[in-house]
A and B are shown apart, each in its own frame.
Chain A
Amino acid sequence: MLELLLQAAFDIFSLQTLMFLMLGVLVGLVFGVIPGLGGTTALAILMPLTFGMEPIDAFAMSGGIMGAVGAGGAITAILLNAPGTAPNAATCLDGYPLARQGRAAEALGATSAASALGGMFGVITLLMVLPVAKELILLFGPPEFFLLAVFGLVTIALSDSDNLLRGLITAGIGLMLASIGYDSVSGGVRFTYGSDYLWDGIPLVPSLVGLFGITEMIRLSISGGSVAADTSSVHLHGVMLGVRATFRHWKAVIRGSIIGTLVGAVPGVGGTVATFISYSLTKKADPHPETFGTGRIEGVIAPEAANNAKDGGGLLPTLAFGIPGSSEMAVFLGILVLHGMQPGPAMLLQNEREIYGLILALTFSALLSAVVSLVWIRWLAMITLVKGQILAPLVIAVSLVGTYAIDSRPGDVLLAAAMGVLGYLLVRFNYPRLPLVIALVLGETAERGFLQSMMIGHGEWGIFVATPTSIVMVLLILLSLGWSIVPALIKIFTKHKQGPADEKA
Chain B
Amino acid sequence: MMKNTDRTRRQFLKISSMIPVLILISITGCSGSAPAGYPASDIKIIIPYNAGGGFDTYVRALGPYLEKHLPNKINVLPINVPGAGGRRGASDVYRASPDGYTIGVFNLPGVMLPQLQGEDVGYDLFKVSWLATISIDGYAYIVKKDSPLDSIEAVKQMGRPITYGATGPSSTSYIATTIVSDALGIPYEVVTGYTGSSEYILGVIRGDVDAAFANLSTVRPYLDSGDVKMLAIIGTESTDPTIRDATGLGIPELNNISVIRMLGAPPGLPDDIKTTLENALLAAVNDPGFQDWLKQTGNEVHYSGAAETTRSVAGMAKFYENFKQKLE
Within the complex, which residue of B57, B84, B225 is in contact with A337, where a contact is CB–CB below 8 Å? B57
Contacts of A345 in B (CB 8 A): 221-222, 225, 227
Complex Cα distance A330/B49, Å?
A: 11
Residue contact B192 to A184, C-beta cutoff 8 Å? yes
Stretch of A98-106, A225-233, A447-455, A471-479 with 4 or more beta carbons under 8 angstroms from chain B: A447-455
Residue contact B87 to A187, C-beta cutoff 8 Å? no
Contacts of A452 in B (CB 8 A): 191-194, 208
Within the complex, which residue of A51, A141, A322 is in contact with B203, where a contact is CB–CB below 8 Å? A141
Contacts of A334 in B (CB 8 A): 51-53, 56-57, 60
Residue contact A337 to B297, C-beta cutoff 8 Å? yes
Residue contact B60 to A338, C-beta cutoff 8 Å? yes
In the complex, what residue of chain B is closest to A324 when comparing beta carbons? Answer: B52
Give chain B interface residues in 199-245, CB to chain A under 8 Å: 199, 202-203, 205-209, 220-222, 224-225, 227
- Which of B82, B91, B191, B296 has the most CB atoms of chain A within a 10 A radius of its CB? B191
Cβ distance B300 to chain A, nearest Cβ, rounded Å: 13
A172 CB within 8 Å of chain B: no
Within the complex, which residue of B52, B85, B199 is in contact with A323, where a contact is CB–CB below 8 Å? B199
B279 CB within 8 Å of chain A: no
A196 CB within 8 Å of chain B: yes
Contacts of B224 in A (CB 8 A): 344, 346
Cβ distance A138 to chain B, nearest Cβ, rounded Å: 5
B195 CB within 8 Å of chain A: yes
B80 CB within 8 Å of chain A: yes
In the complex, what residue of chain A is closest to B60 when comparing beta carbons? Answer: A48
Give chain A interface residues in 330-364, CB to chain B under 8 Å: 330-335, 337-338, 340, 342-347
Cβ distance B67 to chain A, nearest Cβ, rounded Å: 12
Complex Cα distance A128/B248, Å?
A: 47
B189 CB within 8 Å of chain A: yes
Residue contact B189 to A455, C-beta cutoff 8 Å? yes
Within the complex, which residue of A44, A137, A451 is in contact with B51, where a contact is CB–CB below 8 Å? A44
Stretch of B8-16, B166-174, B176-184, B269-277 with 4 or more beta carbons under 8 angstroms from chain A: B166-174
A293 CB within 8 Å of chain B: no
Residue contact A335 to B60, C-beta cutoff 8 Å? no
Q: Interface 1/0s, chain A 35-46, versus B by CB < 8 A?
A: 000001001100
Complex Cα distance A182/B194, Å?
A: 13
B198 CB within 8 Å of chain A: yes
Within the complex, which residue of A196, A330, A346, A456 is in contact with B53, where a contact is CB–CB below 8 Å? A330
Complex Cα distance A194/B121, Å?
A: 10
Contacts of B227 in A (CB 8 A): 345
B50 CB within 8 Å of chain A: yes
Q: Interface 1/0s, chain B 61-80, versus A by CB < 8 A?
A: 10110000000000000101
A186 CB within 8 Å of chain B: yes
Residue contact A141 to B208, C-beta cutoff 8 Å? yes
Contact A322-B221, Cβ < 8 Å, known A196-B83, A334-B52, A452-B191: yes
Contacts of A142 in B (CB 8 A): 193, 203, 208
Cβ distance B223 to chain A, nearest Cβ, rounded Å: 10
Complex Cα distance A144/B199, Å?
A: 14
What DSSP secondary structure best describes chain A's contact surface? Answer: helix
Q: Interface 1/0s, chain A 413-444, versus B by CB < 8 A?
A: 00000000000000000000000000000000
A47 CB within 8 Å of chain B: yes
Within the complex, which residue of B64, B88, B221 is in contact with A342, where a contact is CB–CB below 8 Å? B221
Contact A456-B221, Cβ < 8 Å, known A186-B169, A330-B53: no
Cβ distance B116 to chain A, nearest Cβ, rounded Å: 15
Complex Cα distance A477/B60, Å?
A: 45
Q: Interface 1/0s, chain A 92-135, versus B by CB < 8 A?
A: 00000000000000000000000000000000000000000000
In the complex, what residue of chain A is closest to B205 when comparing beta carbons? Answer: A138
In the complex, what residue of chain B is closest to A347 when comparing beta carbons? Answer: B221
Complex Cα distance A196/B207, Å?
A: 35
Contacts of A330 in B (CB 8 A): 50-53
Give chain B interface residues in 256-278, CB to chain A under 8 Å: none
A2 CB within 8 Å of chain B: no
B323 CB within 8 Å of chain A: no
Residue contact A323 to B51, C-beta cutoff 8 Å? no
Q: Interface 1/0s, chain A 463-490, versus B by CB < 8 A?
A: 0000000000000000000000000000
Q: Interface 1/0s, chain B 287-326, versus A by CB < 8 A?
A: 0000001001110000000000000000000000000000
Residue contact B297 to A332, C-beta cutoff 8 Å? no
Complex Cα distance A204/B242, Å?
A: 47
In the complex, what residue of chain A is closest to B295 when comparing beta carbons? Answer: A340
Complex Cα distance A185/B195, Å?
A: 9
Cβ distance B311 to chain A, nearest Cβ, rounded Å: 30
Within the complex, which residue of A332, A346, A455 is in contact with B191, where a contact is CB–CB below 8 Å? A455
A321 CB within 8 Å of chain B: yes
Give chain A interface residues in 188-207, CB to chain B under 8 Å: 194, 196, 199-200
Complex Cα distance A48/B120, Å?
A: 34
Residue contact B83 to A199, C-beta cutoff 8 Å? yes
Contact A456-B51, Cβ < 8 Å, known A321-B198, A337-B297, A342-B297: no
Q: Other CB < 8 Å A-B pairs besides A47-B51, A182-B84, A346-B225, 18 of them?
A: A40-B51, A43-B51, A44-B80, A141-B207, A183-B168, A184-B192, A184-B194, A184-B195, A199-B84, A200-B84, A323-B199, A324-B52, A330-B52, A335-B52, A451-B193, A452-B192, A452-B208, A455-B193
Closest 6 CB pairs of A and B: A334-B52, A187-B169, A344-B221, A185-B193, A345-B225, A44-B51
B residues whose Cβ falls under 8 Å from a Cβ of A = 50-53, 56-57, 60-61, 63-64, 78, 80, 82-85, 87-88, 91, 120, 122, 163, 167-170, 189, 191-195, 198-199, 202-203, 205-209, 220-222, 224-225, 227, 293, 296-298
A residues whose Cβ falls under 8 Å from a Cβ of B = 40, 43-44, 47-48, 51, 137-138, 141-142, 182-187, 194, 196, 199-200, 267-268, 321-324, 327, 330-335, 337-338, 340, 342-347, 407, 448, 451-452, 455-456
20 contacts between A and B (CB under 8 A): A40-B51, A44-B80, A47-B51, A138-B205, A184-B193, A185-B193, A186-B169, A187-B168, A187-B170, A200-B84, A321-B202, A327-B50, A331-B51, A335-B52, A340-B293, A346-B221, A451-B193, A452-B191, A452-B208, A456-B208
